[in-house]
Amino acid sequence: MSGTPVTETTLERVEQSEHLGRWSGKSIPRKEDRRLLQGQGTFTDDGGHIHMGYAQFVRSPYAHARILSVDTARAEALDGVYATLTGAEVKELTAPFFQIAPEPGGKIAEYCLAVDKVRYQGDAVAVVLADSRETARDAAELVEVEYEPLPVVVDSIAAAAPDAPILHDEVGSNVVWHGVYDYGDVEWALQEADHVVKIDRLHFHRFSSTPLECNAAVVNWDPGTGIVEIFSNNQMPMFASLVIGPALGIPSNSLLFRSQDIGGAFGIKIGSYPQITALALLSRKAGRAAKWTEYRTDHMQSAGQGNERTFRNIEVPVMSDGTILGFKVEAFDDAGAYLHYEPLGAVIWSQVVPGCYKLKHIQVDFTETVSNKCPTIPNRGYSRLQHLWMIERVIDIVAHELGFDPVALRKTNYVQPEDYPYRTPNGCVYDSGDLPRALDMALAAIDYPSWRQRQQELGTGSGKRIGIGIGTTLDSGTNNFGQARIINPDLPFSGNGEAAYVKLDLYGEVNVNLGTTPQGQSHETTAAQVVADILGMSPDAVSVSVGFDARHNTYVAFSGTYASQFAVTGLGAAMGAAEKLRAEIIKVAAYALGAEEEEIELNDGSAYVRGDEERAIPFIGIANLVYSNVAALAPEIADSVSLNCRHVYRPPFEIPDTETKTGNLTLTYASQTHACVLELDEDTGAVEILDYAVADDCGRVINPSIVTGQVHGATAHGIGAALWETFEYDEDGQLQQSSFYDYHAVTALDVPHIKTSHLESPSPFTPNGAKGMGEGGGAPLHAICSALQDALGEGAPVVAESHNHWERIYRLLHPESGALRGVEVRSR
């Protein structure tokens, strides 16, 4: 076997806090709710500035065109217009955005407005600032842009062809990244296998979780201080700072990001940094703040869409007992017109190389291209759900083609409970889990045997079909940013972390402030739960600062809310800071009470001497001694406490091996196992979900109700994507779904009741046993495709698309005669 050796990273079991338990693990109602239920949240469009204009971007109607001229004279002549900004000015004023890609992709010169060419329908060529949003819109219509249309490419495989129209001349090709991930010895496995299942093509479509609140920002370039104040709903402000600062040529501490309530983000709101850059320039030029809120059509066209991936020439070696040895595949990822956060998607999927299975021999030939479509941006389940969907399709197709029971085949190949911590072929460590039990729980919840029986009873001739599907998935959380080096070895990124402050205020109040930018994930509540446990008080008495403010929140460059990690990184930071504050409180209390530190306990906002609860000092007394009565404290104690405690949680990562593309890429692996029952109408392709169940395992649960809510939300997104939600471009690169009329975001009638059950396999590697779990791994896409394949039965075409609206289901039910099934089996 010629496989490359795997980097032997070591991960040690982490000592977990002894203080958690009284409040952690309970479904306490959320601290966030009171303001939000009364319409008293502050979202970005609720904000403003005393001296402000409204911005409107001018967008290209063409998917690919040369910009011959941009004339803003008529717009500027309109009464109420403060300023305009064009790509030509931007090129003079800024440097191109930093690129993650190595060359050739790294040669892309992207500015915050299109300069010489537009590369997708919706590409911004200019921006206007005016005294009202209506005037700004009128003025944008008056900006005259002359275009010379160019040939368009909207498919990743076509874009990679040598004769394709080139988007970025400086790159010389549309291929922005290519690499082969090769683990074990797949050629040996294909030779030795009893069967080889070959699947022609699987295609994972474009969609977006489309947060209900669009992107928005109020940006003010203060001429006196040079500070750029940014009140926005960007969910990764430190990443935005790293990109915007060098583009504008200003230090990162001149960019003051602030946010309060964010109306959903799901990854999409990582992508607003180009617009924020343009707004900063516009504000400086106009001498007033620039407020921008996307219209929904702006959002659909240009905010960012999830990664589209085409898999072809899939070969799967299978033994006669059902053991699947691995797979070989070519993957083409379509990043859209520019690389926003990409090409990180070309490595992020490798956090879950074998999916939930003990596959050993895997080769993925990965190509990422640009195309004349909206740039992609990480969307819930980013890059892993595409890969996991492909693996789940492989499992079901193998079961169908070779006559294995899909439940038994999964159980045979799952990573088993006794295998954890399980090292994958590329060196990732799956921390804990019990996949067979999770599958049993999901199947029990839908009463699997009775549906199988009803499926049989239904037989043929009823005009209906029942399909039962399974989707097992992983939600890998807490990235090792060192994986970026597998894409570009020169990138100075690795590890991960998050920061928090916990302090005792003047009257002994406890205040927590986080580096995160929550969008519904309930950070105020769960942070209060763990801090309350450590400081021996009620979460009601713990105040958590609302939102993020770079002026007084603490942060590291990884700060933000993305990628399934708050329960580990964010709570890890809050717990560490609370432990430090606890130690300081105990130190002061021991002095004040004339006791040993070991004798001090905390309860209900007081420190007391164990066994003698009369000897106590409330937190207000501690605060008094440190802040306003400091001469009463021994100097050596006064000098050693601050009651302002900062902690940075840092997971124990090492830098991956970029040669072998191996290393520990993620700290935790939550899992979700979905089971669903579909009914298809043979005459129309109409589909109805008859039953739906999820078994969730995200390690130790801090707040069960909140976890369940996240599971439901991720499930709804997956159901939407599988049956309703898609972004499609015609051959001219025109987006077909640019409002909620055409893009059918799922309603309460489309999402069924979701039966949810939990098992807890605590992570041995995190300070609280929890795992990040917000993204969910796209399991409904896996489960619904699985159910469709099941309903179609023997001899049917392969369900090769992740999105299956009724028309497509009809065609699967009624394939043209002689049409290829998309699969073949070679047996020894």
Per CB under 8 A, residues contacting another protein are: 27, 29-30, 32-43, 45-46, 78-80, 130-132, 134-135, 138, 209-214, 261-264, 266, 293, 295-297, 519-522, 705-706, 708-709, 712-717, 739-741, 745, 747-749, 751, 753-754, 756
CB atoms under 10 Å from CB of 370, counted, come to 30
Nearer to another protein, 434 or 725 (CB): 725
Q: Which of 33, 31, 64, 14 is nearest to 729 (CA)?
A: 64
- Min separation Cβ 236 and another protein, Å: 16
DSSP secondary-structure letter at 801? B
CB of 245 to another protein, least distance (A): 28
Strands in 630-728 per DSSP E: 644-649, 666-681, 687-697
As measured in angstroms, the least distance from the Cβ of 698 to another protein is 16
Q: Shortest approach of another protein to residue 518 CB, angstroms?
A: 8
The residue among 397 and 716 lying less far from another protein, judged by its C-beta, is: 716
Asked if 579 and 768 count as a contact pair (C-beta separation under 8 A), the reply is no
Of residues 121 and 522, the one with the C-beta less far from another protein: 522
Place of tokens 């994986």: 483
Q: Residue 343 in 3-state DSSP?
A: coil
654 backbone φψ class: left, alpha, beta (φ>0; ψ -120 to 50): beta
Maximum pairwise Cα distance, the chain: 92
For residue 357, the 8-state DSSP code is B
Least separation, in Å, of the C-beta of 757 and another protein? 13
Closest to another protein by CB, 210 vs 310, is 210
The CA radius of gyration of the chain, in Å to the nearest whole number, is 28
The pair of structure tokens assigned to 302 is 């240009």
**Contact criterion met (CB below 8 Å) for 419 and 812:** no
Instruction: Report in angstroms how near the CB of residue 213 gets to another protein at its nearest.
Output: 5
Measuring CA to CA, which residue among 500, 504, 571 is closest to residue 536?
504
> Do residues 318 and 462 touch, judged by C-beta distance below 8 A?
no
CB nearer another protein, residue 90 or residue 136: 136
Give the Cα separation of 336 and 387 in Å (integer). 18
Q: Rounded to an integer, what distance in angstroms lies between the CA atom of residue 393 and that of residue 785?
A: 7
**CB 738 to another protein: min, Å:** 10
Q: How far is the CB of 539 from another protein (least distance, A)?
A: 14
239 DSSP 8-state letter: H
Kindly state the smallest distance separating residue 47's Cβ from another protein, in Å: 10
**Residue nearer to another protein on the CB measure, 17 or 72:** 72
Q: Rounded to 5 degrees, what angle do the CA atoms 558, 378, 160 make?
A: 125
In the complex, the smallest distance separating the C-beta of residue 673 from another protein, rounded to whole angstroms, is: 17
Give the distance, in angstroms, between the CA of residue 739 and the centroid of all CA atoms in the same chain.
23
Residue 638 makes CB contacts below 8 A (sequence gap 6+) with: 626, 630
Q: Considering beta carbons, is residue 264 or 417 the nearer one to another protein?
A: 264
Tokens of 231: 């009140």
Of 806, 805, 813, nearest to 205 by C-alpha is 805
Minimum separation from the CB atom of position 724 to another protein (A): 12
**Any bridge partners for residue 85, and if so which?**
127
**Which DSSP string do the residues of 431-444 spell out, in sequence order?**
----HHHHHHHHHH
Pick 37 or 161: Cβ nearer another protein: 37
- Between 471 and 713, whose beta carbon lies closer to another protein? 713
The pairing of beta strand 361-369 with beta strand 175-183 = antiparallel
Pick the closest to residue 363 from 156, 661, 160, 658 (CA basis).
Answer: 661
In this complex, which beta carbon is closest to another protein, that of residue 607 or of residue 716?
A: 716
Q: Provide, rounded to whole angstroms, the least separation between the CB of residue 670 and another protein.
A: 17
DSSP per position, 478-504: EE-GGGHHHH-TT-------EEEEEEE
Q: Which is nearer to another protein, 39 or 162 (CB)?
A: 39
Minimum CB separation of residue 567 from another protein in Å reads 15
Q: How far apart are CA 265 and CA 718, in angstroms?
A: 15
Considering the complex, state which of residue 30 and residue 410 has its C-beta at the smaller distance from another protein: 30
Q: State both tokens at 503.
A: 């302090």
d(CA 523, CA 209): 21
Closer to another protein at the Cβ: 301 or 708? 708
**Shortest Cβ distance from residue 565 to another protein (Å)?**
17
Shortest distance (Å) from residue 745 CB to another protein: 5
Strands (E), 224-288: 228-232, 255-259
- Rounded Cα distance, 192 and 323, in Å: 12
Q: What tokens appear for 283 in the block?
A: 């504000």
Pick the closer one to another protein by CB: 507 or 740. Answer: 740
Whether the Cβ atoms of residue 496 and residue 569 lie closer than 8 Å to each other: yes
Q: Which is nearer to another protein, 39 or 461 (CB)?
A: 39
**Residue 468 C-beta: closest distance to another protein, Å:** 21
**One-letter amino acid of 587:** K
In angstroms, give the least distance from the CB of 438 to another protein.
19
Burial class (CB in 10 A: 0-12, 13-18, 19+), 180: exposed
Nearer to another protein, 221 or 692 (CB): 692
Decide: 122 and 59 in contact? Cβ < 8 Å: yes
For every residue of 1-70, DSSP letters joined together read --PPPPP----PPPPPPSSTTSSTTS-PPPSSHHHHHTT----GGG---SSEEEEEEEE-SSSSEEEEEE
Report, in Å, the least distance between residue 701 CB and another protein.
13
State the DSSP H helix or E strand holding residue 71, giving kind and residue range, or none if neither.
strand 65-71
Query: How far is residue 355 from each of residues 149, 351, 410, 507, 669, measured CA to CA in Å?
Result: 43, 9, 11, 52, 11
Cβ proximity to another protein, 607 vs 706, nearer residue: 706
By beta-carbon proximity to another protein, the closer residue of 64 and 803 is 803
